[in-house]
Amino acid sequence: MRKLTVLCVDADDDERAATRESLLTDDDVAVTTADSVATAADALDGAAVDCVVTAYDFPDGTGLDVAERVRETTPDTPCILFTDASPDRIDTAGREDVVVEYLPRDTPDARAALVRMVGNLVEQRTQVGYPLPTREDERLAALEQYDRPGMEAADAFDRLTALARGHFGVDVAFVGVIDAHEERFLACTGAAWETLSREDSMCTHTILEDDLMIVEDTHEDGRFADNDRLDELDIRAYAGVPLETPRGATIGAFCLTHDEPRSFTDDELADLRRFADEAMDQLELRRQLNECEDEREATQREATEGDDSGGDGS
Amino acid sequence: MSVQEPTYTFDGLPLAGVEPGTNILVTGPALGGIRELTMRMLLRRHSREGTLFIAADVDGRETLSDYEALGGDLDFARVGVVDCTENGTDDDGHNVHAVGSPADLTGAGIEFSSLYERIHQNGAGQVRTGVYTLSPFVVYAPAKSVFRFVHTLTGRIRTADGLGVCAIDPAAVDDQTLSSIAQAFDGKVELREVDGQRAVRVRGLSDQPDDWQPIDFDTA
C-alpha cells in the first residue's frame, strides 16, 4: 500500500510530538507537522496530504481556519479536529461549510482512536463533497488501465471536440476523465481547462448516470445552483455522456457546455452519444495498443535475458 | 453461513431487521406519516441501545416529547438531540445541544460526533441515529457541504456499527439532488399514502419484504 501522509497541526510542542508518535505507530503513515494556521497553509501548498489532524487553538486562528484552507486547496482531504475544546467553545462563524470530524482528547485512548479514524476517513473517502459511485475502487482501477502517458496528447480527441463544438454550436466541447480527486481534460475546444476538482465538476454526477446527464440551466438545479466555480467558467448549460469501458466501468464523459441556458433535441443527444462512443473506442484502441506493446517489450526482455544467460561470452 | 439475529430490529413495522452499520434513507411526504415512521425506527429495543436525533425541522424538546409519546424511553445518558433549528437552545437536562442554524453543517457535525461519542461511552454499544429531516440542510447549505456532511454522518455510523435513519421529503428537494444524496445510503424505505392507506416499500436492502406493505400507525 502507498504510504499516507498526515499533516499534524498543533501549537503545543509536546502534544504535537505525542500525536505524531501515535500516528507513526502505523507503518503506512508518514507525518508532517505544523504549529500554526500559516505554517499549515504552507505545508498544504507544498506536498500532497492525505489527511489533516488539527488542534483548535492557534495564535493566528483556529483549527477550522486550517480546515478552510484544506477545502480551498485539496477539498477531498479529510480533516479531524483533535482538541480538548468542547463543541460549545468552537466558533463555526464563517466556517459553516467546511465540515470536519471531531475527536475530543478526553476520549478514552484518544490517540489510538485517532489512528483508526485517520485510516477510516481516508479509505472510505468520508469527506468528499459529491456523490460517490457504488463501485468507485473498481472504477479507478479500470481508469488506470487507460490512463497512460500520451493519453492527453492524442490529436484524435482534439479533432473530435472541435467537430462537436461546431456541430452543436456550443461554447465548449470536451473529453474528461474522472480520477480519484479531479477531472482531467484530455481535450477541450473552446476553453483552456486542464483540471477541475471533483466537487466542482458536473461530470462527477454524469458518471453516476446510465445514459447521460442534461442540465439545461445550472442555476435551476439544486446540485449546481450554488457552485460558483461553474459561473467562473461560464457554464450555464451542460450535456454529458458517460464514457463506459467494454467491461462496464465509467471512466469519464464526453461533454458540451454553453454560457447561457439551452436545451438539447433528441437528434442532438443521439449525435452526442455517437461522439462519446467514438471517444471511448479511441481510448479502448489505445489501451489495447499499450497492452500489446507491454507484451512485446516483456517478450523481448525475456529473449534478451535468455541470450545473456545462454551465451558463452565470445 | 450461520444465521445471525440482525442487530437492529423494528417492532411493529413491516421491515426486517438490519445489520450493524446500515444507513437508510426514508422518503415520503411530510404530512403522510414520515415522522412517525422515522421515530418508530429509532425506538430503542433495550437499555444498551442509544438514540441520537439530529433535528432540523422541529426543535429538540418537541422531538423528545414526540419520541416519548410513541413509547421511546428517555434515558438521557443514552438519548440526546443535536438541535439544528433556527431558534434551538441548549438544554443540558434533556441532553439537547443547539447548533443555531441548519446552514451550520460544521457545527452540526461537531455536535453529532461529540454526542455520539458520549452516548457510546455511557454504555450504549449500539446507537440509532435519526435525521429529521435532511431537507432544511439541502435548502440552506451549499450542495457540496451537504454531501460532505451526509458522508461524514453515514461514515461514522458505518464505522461504529450504528444504524442511520435519515428522513427527507422528496417534495422539498429536486429529483436529481435526492438521487445523488441517496447514493450515500445502503438502502431506502419509501412511504406513500393511497386512498387513505399508508404503505412502505424497501429498496436496496437484502432480506426485506418485496413490494408495498400496508402500515398503520396507532393514532395517539
Write out pLDDT tens, residues B189-218: 999 998 889 999 999 999 999 899 999 876
Q: Is A288 on the interface with B (CB under 8 A)?
A: no
Burial of A185 (0-12, 13-18, 19+ CB in 10 A): buried
Grade residue B1 by pLDDT with cuts at 50, 70 and 90.
very low
Is B141 in Cβ contact with A97 (below 8 Å)? Answer: yes
Q: Does the distance separating the beta carbons of B151 and A127 come in below 8 Å?
A: yes
| Residue among A81, A97, A211, A250 with most chain B CBs within 10 A, to mutate | A97
* Tens-place pLDDT, residues B79-126: 999 999 998 999 999 999 999 999 999 999 999 999 999 999 999 999
Please give the average per-residue pLDDT across B57-82, as a whole number. 95
How many angstroms separate the CA atoms of B56 and B112, rounded?
13
Q: Searching chain B, which residue's CA lies closest to the CA of residue A91? A: B107
Contact criterion met (CB < 8 Å) for B145 and A88: no
Q: What is the pLDDT of residue A308?
A: 56
Task: State the cell numbers at A219.
Answer: 442555476
Contact status of A224 with chain B (Cβ, < 8 Å): yes
| A100/A77 Cα distance (integer angstroms) | 10
Q: Compute the mean pLDDT over every residue in chain A, rounded to the nearest whole number.
A: 93
User: Is the pLDDT reported for residue A243 higher than 80?
Assistant: yes
| Residue B68: its H or E element | helix B60-69
Task: Give residue A152's pLDDT.
Answer: 65
> What was the pLDDT predicted at B216?
86
pLDDT tens string A3-17: 899 999 999 999 999
* pLDDT score recorded for residue A196: 97
Whether residue B61 has pLDDT greater than 80: yes
Distance CA(A3)–CA(A24), nearest Å, equals: 11
Fold adopted by A136-300: Beta-Lactamase (3.30.450)
A210 in contact with chain B, both atoms CB, cutoff 8 A: no
Mean pLDDT calculated for residue range A185-196: 95
- Determine the average pLDDT of the residues in A87-116: 96
Min Cα distance B120 → chain A (Å) is 11
Distance from CA of B151 to the nearest CA of A (A): 5
Q: Is the pLDDT of residue A1 over 60?
A: no
Q: What is the predicted pLDDT for the residue at A147?
A: 84
Residue-level length of chain A: 314
Q: What is the pLDDT of residue B69?
A: 95
CB < 8 Å to A67, chain B: 106
Collect all residues of chain B within an 8 Å Cβ-Cβ radius of residue A199.
144, 147
The CATH superfamily holding the domain A4-124 is Response regulator (3.40.50.2300)
* Surface of A (63-102) touching B: CB under 8 A: 64, 67, 75, 81, 86-88, 90, 92, 95-102
B106/A221 touch (CB, cutoff 8 Å), yes or no: no
- Establish if A131 touches chain B: CB-CB under 8 angstroms: yes
CA angle B203, B178, B145 (to 5 degrees): 125
CA gyration radius, chain B? 16
Q: Which residues contact A17 (CB under 8 A, 6 or more apart)?
A: none
Query: What per-residue confidence (pLDDT) applies to B2?
Result: 46
Interface membership of B171 toward A (CB under 8 Å): no
Interface size, chain A vs chain B, as Cβ–Cβ contacts under 8 Å: 121
Residue B162 has phi, psi (to 5 degrees) of -90, -170
Distances (CA, A) of A42 to A47, A53, A311, B195: 9, 15, 57, 63
B186 min Cα distance to partner chain A (Å): 10
Cβ A290 vs Cβ A280: under 8 Å: no
What are the tens digits of pLDDT across the range A264-311? 999 999 999 999 999 999 999 989 988 888 888 889 888 887 665 544
CB A6 within 8 A of CB A52: yes
Chain A environment of B102 (Cβ under 8 Å) = none
For A214, the closest chain B residue by CA position comes to: B176
Cβ contact B52:B212 at 8 Å: no
Measured between CA atoms, how close is A103 to chain B, in angstroms? 7
Q: Kind of pairing, strands B49-55 and A250-258?
A: unpaired
Give mean pLDDT, residues B10-35.
93
* Other CB atoms within 10 A of residue A161 CB: 25
**Residue B219 pLDDT > 70, yes or no?**
no
In this prediction, residue B30 carries a pLDDT of 81
**Which of A138-142, A151-155, B153-157 has the least mean pLDDT?**
A151-155
Residue by residue, DSSP assigns A268-305 as: HHHHHHHHHHHHHHHHHHHHHHHHHHHHHHHHHHHHHH
CA angle in degrees (0–180, nearest 5) for A88-A89-A94? 95
Asked if the Cβ–Cβ distance from B110 to A87 is below 8 Å, we say yes
pLDDT at B3: 54
User: How high is the pLDDT of residue A313?
Assistant: 44
Interface probe for B, chosen from A100, A139, A223 (most Cβ of B below 10 Å), is A223
Q: ipTM above 0.85?
A: yes
Q: For testing the chain A interface, which of B119, B147, B149, B157 should be mutated: the one with the most A CBs within 10 Å?
A: B147
- Taking the CA of residue B108 and the nearest CA in chain A, the distance in Å comes to 9
**Quick one: average pLDDT of B31-49?**
92
Q: Where are the domains of chain A?
A: 4-124, 136-300
The CA distance from B66 to B212, in Å, is 26
- Confidence at A132, pLDDT banded by 50, 70, 90: very high
What is d(CA B117, CA A80) in angstroms, rounded to the nearest whole number? 14
Residue closest to B32 by CA, chosen among B201, B213, B193:
B193
Query: Phi and psi of B114, rounded to 5°?
Result: -65, -45
Whether residue B147 and residue A129 make contact (CB cut-off 8 A), yes or no, is yes
Q: Does A124 touch chain B (CB under 8 A)?
A: yes
Q: What is the mean pLDDT of residues A133-152?
A: 87
Residue B7 has a pLDDT of: 87
Find, in chain A, the residue whose alpha carbon is nearest to that of B146: A129
* Residue B1: C-alpha distances to residues B4, B19, B20, B131 (Å): 9, 15, 17, 34
* B26, pLDDT greater than 60: yes
- By the CB < 8 Å criterion, does A106 face chain B? no
* B151 at A interface, C-beta within 8 A: yes
pTM for the predicted model, two decimal places: 0.93
